[in-house]
Amino acid sequence: MMISQAKEISKKSKSSFYYAFNLLPVDKREAMTTLYAFCRKTDDIVDENNLTSETKSKDLQNWKTELEKCLLGESSLPLLNSLAVTINQFKIPTEPFFDLIKGMEMDISQSRYSTIDDLITYCYRVAATVGLMSIEIFGYKNIATRKFAVNLGLALQLTNILRDIKKDALAGRIYLPLEDLKRFNYSEEELFANVYNENFVQLMRFEANRAKAYFENANKNLDIVDKPSMFAARAMQHIYFNLLKKLEAKNFNVFAENINVGKSEKAIIALGVWAKYNLVY
């Protein structure tokens, strides 16, 4: 019954995550579906617009408490009990789950990041942690694959930030490091006013190159022996790198239109990566 609920959460989102893991073997697909549902539910606590920060913090703390209980087999929540089964089945370290919650706490308590180091801490907690959870389900032999997961998570989150600048600004949030805004002489006020000028383009190009560097570091840390089992992660990588290229092709004018990778594109990319690693390697 819990798998059905988790599947419903996954299908409803129609995220890149969904398209990437839909071609996994049944046991791993169900595990990833449960993992995704946990991540989605954790994120939803913070994204609930009608709640105060105080209420969100309380709800997130209750969620953390239930996570701790589920690891002891004592949670009253079916989703978390299902997650505990997945954690035990695939021997997933539990630290990334709690780090993810720390990342959500950052979203409640702050809406600016002064330096790139501050931002990378946030990106690690909300994205790289998911990669570290996921690779345990995918299975790997080379320890460097953990670095692949971390770097890929950072690349995906940085790309997300570039895509969502307008939406985040509407919510009063700026994820781009303030030191970078200063570097390119682009102000917070201009961002909130959706000012699209050469300074903004240069700022975005700088951040896009930073994301590319993390994509490249991910590639460098994925040995050929682990490429077949990582095809779902590689599908995510291709989808988001495609998004980054679309942003570049539009000269980063995220204020004028929503730049995304379409559902059919996601499905085609995921299928292509699956075929490559299942037929070639």
What's the confidence (pLDDT) of residue 279?
56
Q: Flag the least confident range among 5-19, 89-103, 148-162.
A: 5-19
Please count the other Cβ atoms lying within 10 Å of the Cβ belonging to residue 98: 13
Distance of CA 279 to the CA centre of its chain: 28
Average confidence (pLDDT) over 240-263: 94
Average confidence (pLDDT) over 192-220: 98
The answer to whether residue 266 scores a pLDDT higher than 90 is: no
Q: Flag the least confident range among 131-135, 175-179, 235-239.
A: 235-239
The answer to whether residue 240 scores a pLDDT higher than 80 is: yes
The answer to whether residue 6 scores a pLDDT higher than 60 is: no
* Closest to 148 (Cα-Cα) out of 32, 272, 233: 233
pLDDT grade for 21, boundaries at 50, 70 and 90:
confident
Residue with tokens 């995906």: 156
The answer to whether residue 1 scores a pLDDT higher than 90 is: no
The answer to whether residue 209 scores a pLDDT higher than 60 is: yes
- What angle do helix axes 145-163 and 198-220 make, rounded to 10 degrees? 160
Cα angle 96, 241, 276 (rounded to 5 degrees) comes to 90
What's the confidence (pLDDT) of residue 2?
47
DSSP state of 190: H
| pLDDT, tens digit (0-9, with 9 covering 90-100), for 128-167 | 999 999 999 999 999 999 999 999 999 999 999 999 999 9
Distance of CA 23 to the CA centre of its chain: 19
What's the confidence (pLDDT) of residue 184?
98
User: What does pLDDT average to over the chain?
Assistant: 91
Domains and CATH numbers, the chain: 2-279 (1.10.600.10)
* AA identity, residue 11: K
- In b/e form, how buried is each residue of 122-148, taking b as 16+ CB within 10 angstroms? bbbbbbbbbbbbbbbbbebeeeebbbb
* Closest to 150 (Cα-Cα) out of 120, 191, 195, 170: 120
Tokens encoding 189 = 């006020």
Better pLDDT: 175 or 4: 175
pLDDT grade for 281, boundaries at 50, 70 and 90:
very low
